[in-house]
Amino acid sequence: MIRTRSKRVLLVAPKAFPEKQLSGYNTVRQVSAPGTIFPCIYEFKPDVILFDHDHMGANLENVLRRLSSNPFYRNIKICCYKSHEHTQIDGLLKVLGVNHFFYKKDVERVSKSKAALDAINNILDASIVNWVAGIA
């Protein structure tokens, strides 16, 4: 979900955010209270901030306005996780500085296709192992 080129990621989401989404990332810091976002940004200096739209609610617009108005936050990429698409809200968030959106259906589709690829790889591995065992 998050590119590996991103060195430090700040996740603004509730504590109930799925742990499987964070697996494999050592430099991810999670914040659940909207009031602690800016002190954490100043302390952690993230490369990417991932907001959970449903968790932030009305506070998201104010936070994005503050991020876009301060030159200290200029190099931070902003991503937003949403449960569903809404063209008007997405357009407003894009204008306010969101670089990329992740939707629930996209995350589910990626995990299903990854499971299918893993199954194919396991079949291929098993057939190669059987073939090598037959040669030996």
User: Closest Cα to residue 49, out of 59, 38, 57, 58?
Assistant: 38
Q: Which of 15-19, 76-80, 106-110 has the highest mean pLDDT?
A: 76-80
At residue 125, the pLDDT reads: 54
Mean pLDDT of all residues belonging to the chain: 77
Give residue 35's pLDDT. Answer: 86
pLDDT number for residue 32? 85
Strands 9-12, 48-52: pairing kind:
parallel
CA 112 to chain centre: 17
- Domains of the chain, by residue range, sit at 8-103
Distances (CA, A) of 38 to 29, 64, 86: 13, 11, 27
Q: What gap in Å lies between CA 64 and CA 93, rounded to an integer?
A: 8
The CATH fold of domain 8-103: Rossmann fold (3.40.50)
- The per-residue pLDDT for 76 is 92
Q: Are 33 and 53 in contact (CB under 8 A)?
A: no
State the alpha helices, DSSP H only, in the chain. Answer: 37-44, 53-56, 59-69, 87-96, 104-135
Note the pLDDT tens digit of each residue in 10-65: 888 887 555 555 556 667 788 888 889 999 999 988 988 989 888 888 899 999 99
Question: Residue 133's pLDDT is what?
Answer: 47
pLDDT-based confidence at residue 117 (cuts at 50, 70, 90): low
